[in-house]
Amino acid sequence: MVLIYTILCILIHYVNCDGSEDKLSTLLGDPAYVQQQLVHLQSQLQTVQVEVERQNSEIASLKQQLLQANNDGVGSTFVRWGRSDCPAHVTELVYSGYAGGSWSGHAGAAANPLCLPPDPEWLNTTIVPDSSTGQLYGAEYESYNAHTPFGSNSHDEDVPCAVCRPKSFASSLMIPARTTCYSGWTKAYGGSLASGYYAQVAASQFVCIDENDEPVVGGADRNDNGVLFYGVKAFCGSLKCPPYVQDKFVACVVCMK
């Protein structure tokens, strides 16, 4: 009885609800009044129920939007080195361009290669010859014999690239020494692991050159150097053999999930 009285006091904002016996008797002694407040309580409970259902619907909508955002591959891009297009059906092209970066023989070279767009926009600065700067060059395949992973006619060809965005995947990953993806991942493309020449001064990064690599259309077929992509071989010792094999070119695959 005290519980019902307390609830009624809270819902109808009864003034000076102190739980006294006389007020409780007064309330409970008036069936019409009690019935009125129970109806009022039921109405408020229905209002709360409608609000809960509205909020549950909003939460479900937000979850769906989050799921759709993940399925849209938000924030996930990768570079397809050696190609000017992206894998069909599973990705969309952000832009295609030219591989570039620092000169392979410079001690202060930046390590990472860049995928440069074909339509650069420039800062409003004066062109002044100055050696106290970073320097940006193009990239070439380095292929000296028929055993190169890039194709027998690829030597000194300029390297294209494409920035790709997965259509229905949130993550992308380059896995070295694999031609297939692990379970649960989808293959974007595979190819050959590449880096700079081990004896060159400049640092370099490992990238995955597409197995169907191509040259830049209209690019220079001459030894201009710049960023140089060499096939990567396995060398046993600190590298465990087996499973690795001495002097074999290392594969790579780009996977999405």
Query: In 81-179, which ranges are continuous DSSP H helix?
Result: none
Q: Which of 131, 90, 132, 135 is nearest to 114 (CA)?
A: 135
Question: Domain ranges in the chain?
Answer: 2-71, 76-257
Over the chain (257 residues), the average pLDDT of each successive run of 10 is 49 48 59 77 82 84 65 71 93 95 89 94 81 87 77 81 92 95 95 92 93 81 81 93 93 95
Residue-level pLDDT at 2: 45
Residue-level pLDDT at 7: 52
Q: Which of 202, 31, 33 is nearest to 109 (CA)?
A: 202
Q: What is the CATH class of 76-257? A: mainly beta
pTM listed for this prediction? 0.68
Residues 153, 109: Cα–Cα separation, whole Å: 28
CB atoms within 10 A of CB 24: 18
> 160 with 216: CB under 8 angstroms?
yes
CB atoms within 10 A of CB 169: 20
Query: In 72-160, which ranges are continuous DSSP H helix?
Result: none
